[in-house]
Homo-oligomer: A and B are copies of this chain.
Amino acid sequence: MESARTFTSALGDWREDHKSLTTSLADAVREAVLDGRISVGSPLPAERTLAAALGVSRGTVVAGLAELRDDGWLRTRHGSRSVVRLPPRLTERTAPWSVDRGQVAGATRIDLTAAVTAAPHGAYLAALERATGRCATLLVDSGTSTAGLPSLREAVADRYTRAGLPTRPDQILITSGAMAALHLLVDQLHDRRRPVLVEQPTFPGALAVLRGRRARMITSPVTADGWDLDRFAETVRTDRPGLAYVMPDFHNPTGAMMSAAARSRLAALDLPVVADETMRDLDLRLSPSPERHLTGPNVINIGSTSKVFWSGLRVGWIRASAARIRELLLNPLQPPLSPPPLEQLIADELLRDISSVLAERTAQLRAQRDHLVALLAGGDWTYTTPPGGLAVWLRLHHTTAAASTRRATRAGLMLSPGPTFAADRTLTHYLRIPFTATTDVLDHAGRILRESAGAPEAMR
């Protein structure tokens, strides 16, 4: 912070009528830090100067800063200026602050439309520091796009190999996420004369990619009980899709995990199958026992660091035959979908550390899942406790997803309704409830949900 003037201009119009001056000031500072208008690590102006610049008494400033200090937003070393920091409760949680805006001013608005997490703060900053050291060498070269940094392709290949699917680095193409991978694969595999088979429900991002390519879609159902492979195989026989997109390892949104038997049957079908394993590492069972990767001559695996580490990393990959990878590199979309070398280095560093990051994150997510499941008990709906992933898939009994989300939004809770996850916009009686909020925020969300969707329409 260069001066009191810069500081006050970052606060903008900070006075709020319904709050005391002290609380208004503290809240405004918190908001400005979270919005990036005031940098973490920047020193605060002196109290007297600040009071003058803000046009308030020194007492108000002292009280406001005391509130911030008590709440973890300031670090004061004896005899020196206070420095802005993020409170540990924000850096140590998996819930992104935008879900509840860090509860800065009380959780008046809860956004659970996306199932995403914040970065593992300490591990991420440590990985970034190590990556910065390694990046110095890359900076003396051109930095143009490649199939991926050799060390990252190797690290990703090694993880497949250790999980029982032998993989060489030349079978890996690094992309800017799983949806980047899907774009490239649809370009390569989609035959416009034939439909694409997707699960019902499925990931809305994949639906967007396929709709964008004007693919005709046909569906096969997935429930909490899993995949009906008889029906899947029948659909392949009758509708002759040219491509299938599936999520066998913690299906989004149901959280289901494909059985070994279903994997064998799926892999034996005669069509290219893109298996999106973005959620694979979010195994929330107390004793995780991962299934083998879906594999076979027709199977292409895609993965991502977005759910395990951070969406802002934008690093994913395709695992396929080396010949297919070489062909994918000819697509003019590949270079702009190749992530920056620095982000690849961060991913490489984080992957070395993945077990400790995962242990902490899955423990938090498991506690949140269990909390949400307990809150949902006895409502006018059906659900199953998901073994992994980030959400509970709720079937409503007496009201529609549209009506429920409308009511919930009015009460301050935003959710994604079932049709978002359906190629044909059906699933009108389902809701996805992410457990990517802290337990106290889930309590609040649970109350709103019960009022919005938990009882028959007639009872309201």
| A332 touching B211, Cβ below 8 Å | yes
Bound Cα distance from A437 to B435, whole angstroms: 54
Q: Judging by beta carbons under 8 Å apart, are A96 and B136 in contact?
A: no
Q: Does A121 contact B (CB under 8 A)?
A: yes
Give every chain B residue within 8 A of A141 (Cβ-Cβ): 34, 96-98, 118
Given A86-B136, A145-B311, A176-B337, 9 additional A-B pairs, CB 8 A? A34-B140, A40-B137, A86-B137, A90-B140, A121-B140, A129-B132, A139-B312, A176-B176, A314-B339
Contacts of A176 in B (CB 8 A): 176, 336-337
Instruction: State the CA gap A205–B205 with chains docked (Å).
Output: 27
Interface residues of A in 64-98 (CB under 8 A from B): 86, 90-91, 96-98
Q: Beta-carbon contacts of A127-141 to B below 8 Å, as 1s and 0s?
A: 011001111111111
Q: Are B340 and A312 in contact (CB under 8 A)?
A: yes
Instruction: Specify which of B40, B134, B212, B340 is in contact with A314 (CB 8 Å cutoff).
Output: B340
B136 touches A125 (CB 8 A): yes
A211 to B96, CA, bound (A): 41
Whether, in the assembled complex, A341 has its beta carbon less than 8 Å from a beta carbon of chain B, the answer is yes
Within 8 A of B (CB), among A138-168: 138-145, 149-151
B-chain residues with CB within 8 Å of residue A34 when the two chains form the complex: 137, 140-141
**CB atoms of A140 and B335 under 8 A apart:** no
If A313-B340, A314-B339 touch, whether A36 touches B138 (CB-CB below 8 Å) is: yes
> Quick one: given A208-B332, A336-B177, are A139 and B116 in contact (CB under 8 Å)?
no
Contacts of A132 in B (CB 8 A): 125, 128-129, 132
Taking CB atoms, residues of chain B closer than 8 Å to A143 are 116, 119, 310-313
Measured between alpha carbons, how far is A117 from B177 in the docked complex, in Å?
27
Interface string of A172-201 (1 = CB under 8 A from B): 000111011001000000000000000000
Q: Is A331 an interface residue (CB 8 A)?
A: yes
As for how many copies of this chain the complex holds, the number is 2
Chain B hits for A175, CB < 8 A: 336
A2 to chain B, nearest CB (A): 13
Please name all residues of chain B whose beta carbon is closer than 8 Å to the beta carbon of A209 when the two chains form the complex: 332
| C-alpha gap A102/B340 in the complex (Å) | 22
Q: Interface size for chain A: under 10, 10 to 19, 20 to 34, or 35 or more residues?
A: 35 or more
State the CA gap A31–B362 with chains docked (Å).
Answer: 41
**What string of 1s and 0s marks CB contacts (under 8 Å) between A35-47 and chain B?**
0100111000000
Q: Does chain B have a CB within 8 A of A367?
A: no
Q: A118-B141, A176-B176 are in contact. Are A342 and B312 (CB under 8 A)?
A: yes
CA–CA, A139 to B95, complex, Å? 11
Pick the residue among B102, B135, B183, B341 that contacts A336 (CB under 8 A). B183
B335 engages A337 (CB within 8 Å): no
- Given A143-B119, A312-B138: A179 touches B335 (CB 8 Å cut-off): yes
Could you say which of A33, A116, A150, A314 has the most chain B C-beta atoms within 10 Å of its C-beta? A314
Q: Check: A333 CB closer than 8 A to any chain B CB.
A: yes
Q: Does A370 contact B (CB under 8 A)?
A: no
Give A125 to B133 CA distance when docked, in angstroms: 10
Please, how many angstroms separate the alpha-carbon atoms of A14 and B180 in the complex? 39
Is there a chain B Cβ closer than 8 Å to A124's Cβ? Answer: yes
Q: Do A128 and B135 contact each other (CB < 8 Å), given the known contacts A313-B143, A336-B177?
A: yes
Chain B residues, CB < 8 A from A411: none
Is A114's CB within 8 Å of the partner chain B? yes
- Say yes or no: is A343 at the interface (Cβ < 8 Å to chain B): yes
Q: A338 — which chain B residues lie within 8 A by C-beta?
A: 314
Q: How far is the CA of A346 from the CA of B124 in the complex (A)?
A: 17
9 pairs from A and B in contact (CB 8 Å cutoff): A33-B137, A102-B140, A119-B139, A128-B135, A143-B313, A179-B335, A180-B336, A212-B331, A314-B340
In whole angstroms, how far apart are the Cα atoms of A208 and B177 in the complex? Answer: 22
- Give the complex CA separation of A340 and B306 in angstroms: 11
- Interface residues in A313-339 (C-beta closer than 8 Å to B): 313-314, 331-333, 335-339
